[in-house]
Amino acid sequence: MELYTFFRSSTSFRLRIALAYKGLAWTPKYVSLPKMAHHDPTYLAKNPQGLVPALIDEAGRVFTQSMAMIEYLDDVHPEPALMPKGAEEKWYVRAVSQIIGCEIHPLNNVRVLKYLKAHCGMDDAGVNRQWYPHWIAEGMKSLEAFLLSQQRVGRYCLGDQFTMADVCLIPQVFNAQRFDCDLSAYPTVMRVFEAGAALPAVRSVEPSTQADAF
Ligand SMILES: N[C@@H](CCC(=O)N[C@@H](CS)C(=O)NCC(=O)O)C(=O)O
Q: Where in the chain is the domain with CATH 3.40.30.10?
A: 2-80
Per-residue model confidence (pLDDT) at position 108 = 95
- Please name the CATH architecture into which domain 87-201 falls: Up-down Bundle (1.20)
Q: Where in the chain is the domain with CATH 1.20.1050.10?
A: 87-201
Count the alpha carbons within 13 Å of 42 in the hemisphere toward its beta carbon. 5
Ligand 1 near 54 CB (within 6 A): no
Which among 106, 110, 118, 131 has a CA at the least distance from the CA of 8? 110
Ligand 1 near 171 CB (within 6 A): no
Which atom of ligand 1 is closest in space to residue 64's alpha carbon? 20
Per-residue model confidence (pLDDT) at position 110 = 95
Domain 2-80 has what CATH class?
Answer: alpha beta
Confidence of residue 172 (pLDDT cuts 50, 70, 90): very high
Atom 1 of ligand 1, residue of closest alpha carbon = 65
Ligand 1 near 9 CB (within 6 A): yes
Question: What's the whole-number mean pLDDT along residues 189-194?
Answer: 98
Q: What is the pLDDT of residues 55-110, one digit of tens each?
A: 999 999 999 999 999 999 999 999 999 999 999 999 999 999 999 999 999 999 99
